[in-house]
Structure 1
Amino acid sequence: MFDRLSSLVIALTLVAIAAIFAALSGGDPLSIAIMLVAGFVAAATVYSALPAPLPDMQGGSAPPLAETPAISLLRHPDFAHWVDQEKEPLIGTADNIVTIANDAAIRLLGRHIVGADVRTAIRHPAATDWLSRIDGNAPLETISLIDFPRPGQRWTMRTAVLAGSERIIFLSDRSAIDAADRMRSDFVANASHELRTPLAAILGYVETLQEMNGEADAPTRNRFLSIIDREARRMQQLVIDLLSISRVEADRFRRPTTPVDLANIVRTTIAQLRDSEQARAKDIAPRIGDDPAPMLGDEAQLKQLAHNIISNAMKYGHADTPVTVELVREGRRVRLSVSDEGDGIAPDHLPRLTERFYRVDEARSRSVGGTGLGLAIVKHISERHQGQLDIESEVGKGTRVSVTFPLSGDS
């Protein structure tokens, strides 16, 4: 097939050759017939080079184009490879039937979900309702799955609609984030409550003294002032503990690099407690030895850790019973243990002792001046120093709190 310009040149050439031939032959009928044939051939050549006429968009209709079948993304080998690399659960469905699920989804929901209806695979009312109503134009919306797959947990579900009836379902675990949010909310609420209680007592007794206008006798005034002093000190200690736990949490990802001697730190802490006005200072029974315990640590934080553990034993152990403080080497580690002979703690309370503001006996804890933050601070300090905290207790016999630290390389 020639283009238009070539066809026109060929047609004109044919006509010219026919005209020359006719002139040479003297215009007889044969030459005229040859010219007519050449004209028809020229016209046919030009016509064949013209483009095909466009279809009439008003009256006629264009011939239908062949429909290309939609390519399934879920069956593409590269997609299957990507799904296997995803750490969070991911499910692919066609007509609400699970056609592909990665390892995370199978661990979460079970291997039986492949080939099952997705509305029964994800057994949650919110998921079932959304998957039943979703259509091809639905936006990418996040659905909250509360108490899924177990009570107390929360996951989210997002659905991406593909071509035809295919979908991709993404599942994300939000349980840890929700737990952290609840912990922060509880911390603020508990801290506010703990500060409000002594503050209310202080304001109440100050107001009472003001109303007496000096009419109160000396014993009554002294008793009120003693209560104000005790509550003010309790509030002061709470503020100190709140600042301490905030600082420790801020430093938790920074490993200490300063060489310290844990044995010397524990000896110094015991000496300070014995020189204090605490009633049970004489009950401390150290078993430290003379050997050093070199390690990398934050001296101020380790002093606070030792102080909190020993003070707790003094508060909750029975009077005139020993508070035993031991420091023992165990291979490349050193164990600090503090034991008391008190009422002990029931096993169901032990896992929660390091929670902020958690108290086994709230009334008794407040009466001895506890803030509920001591062991929480100990836990964070031990974690920063790569230590392991263990709490053992037997009801009626007492409690033993131990922290094991790694020794430094030159020990």
Structure 2
Amino acid sequence: MGAFGVALILGINAMVGYDLLHQRDETLARAQEDGASMALVLERHATDSLSGVSKILAGVVEVLAVRTDSWDRGDTDVHALLRRQAALSPLIRAILVVSADGRLIHDTKTTEPAGIDLSDRDYLMAHRDGLVAGGADAVFVGIPVRGRTSGTWFISMSRRLDTSDGRFAGVVVAVIEPMAFRSFYQTLPLSGDAVITLYHADGPVIARFPDHDGFIGRSARHLPLFTTLLKEARTGTLSLDSAVDGPRRILSYRASDDMPLAVTVSASRDAVLAHWWSKAMVLAAVDLAGTLVLAAMTLALLREAERRERALADLQDGERALRDSQQRLIQDIAARHRIEAELIAAKQVSDAANRAKTQFLANMSHELRTPLNAVIGFAEALESGIFGQMSAKQTEYVGDIRKSGQHLLSLINDILDTTKIESGKYVLHQEDLAVGELIGECLRQMEPLAVEKGVTLTATLPISLPVLYADPRAVRQILLNLLSNAVKFTPPGGRILVEADRAARSLRLRVSDTGIGIPAMELEQVMEPFHQVDNSHTRRYAGTGLGLPLVKSLVELQDGRFVLSSVLGRGTTATVLFPPSRLRSRSDDLPTLKRAPGRTQTAPA
């Protein structure tokens, strides 16, 4: 038995170790595949972007070749043509026409081109001296340089212009914005410390994320990418130590076949394996605990074997008593089975009744909404005077009909939402929400009711609330239900405070009032559907008792938490907490802003 225990411990440890090594290899392989795929996508993006600019330049060359005013400096028609072509690509900052001697003829930035000498620019010399690979009709892509007047980095793409007899006349140049590539890289779902770099085939950095400004224009000819890797293969993925980005990195690279470009995507092995290391530590701790438990169990089994030998004689003496009790045990089991069958039948009946209740409420809610919408519509039509002027008393009665219909429709909607949640049919339509704007809408919606009752609404909101990923209708319903309860149960002259802030990295929404409050023993019961606090104060207020249960259900459907606290006679505080996984940014708090009773004030979001 001892040998078996030792063998079992060694076997389990071997399995755990093999599984960890296998997961490590899979993690690295997956990271390499992801890097290669990302490099392919980025290379195609850069190639296609510059190819589009090349086609635009080809079209400009064709048009200028047949125009008689192409070399009229600052001609308005040519200027308009160049501006239209420049607008076809978001990469193009400007299009220039430069003569063979380096004079600036046209510039899409102005109808009066600057009098600067561009004869030393690489895009002019390359075409003039016939250094462009592919012949006279090929496009030239320059390395990043700083503009003489703007001082900002740009890349030039140019095509040759010829005279009617085929002599070199100048070039058409597209000034490319490198930040366009960096902005695109910033939008990608990168993980860890991933770095993307776009290189010119001659070595300079064109764009990079992160730290674009620190690397653009810097030569990389001394890096292994240009000294070794691109000479061996046009694409690949490997592990290496980078003098720029740090040691132990997984690098995927790819060179373009159509443009003088190369793209690299790298991430550190430590960042890639961070999750694996965490899991390995947990599994190692679990394995150690399991080993200790198995060792203890083995020792316990050895001792138990000794005790069993001593107890064997006692068991033989108790065999007769065991047979006597066996019959009683059989009878007890039969009785238990009968009880279990009765409980199962009772549960089935209860589930059927609950489903019937849910279906009935859903059907009734749907059936009632149609005539109610008609009643509300006709009441609004009568109030608007579309059927003729009414007396003051008639207007008052029609207003009561409309308000009562809207109140009843709100109650029916709460019942319908509750039945949807209970039956699992409530569908969330989630999107990024501006929380400050949503709170402001709800406060403005509740303002007339607060004014009518004489209640002061006060809001404390940060300058910049985080973006919340949630269902806008559900969040709006949560806030409106909480504000409606607060106004309903707060006497005239009372105060209601709406707050939004960050608490332990979560988004906290809080509605506090100075209303009648809820007894401590009733706080859990008011979270149950159709329950209201049964006392002389709350029974004066209409309602189905669905508001707080519906709020709780809608909050929990969106991974949140709902907390209710109250002091009888002093007020109630309702708190909604959304987890960090649903937030997109941070916010800073502002002091509380107050206004007169029944008015709201919020800090700008």
TM-score (norm. length: structure 1): 0.48
Which has more radius of gyration? 1
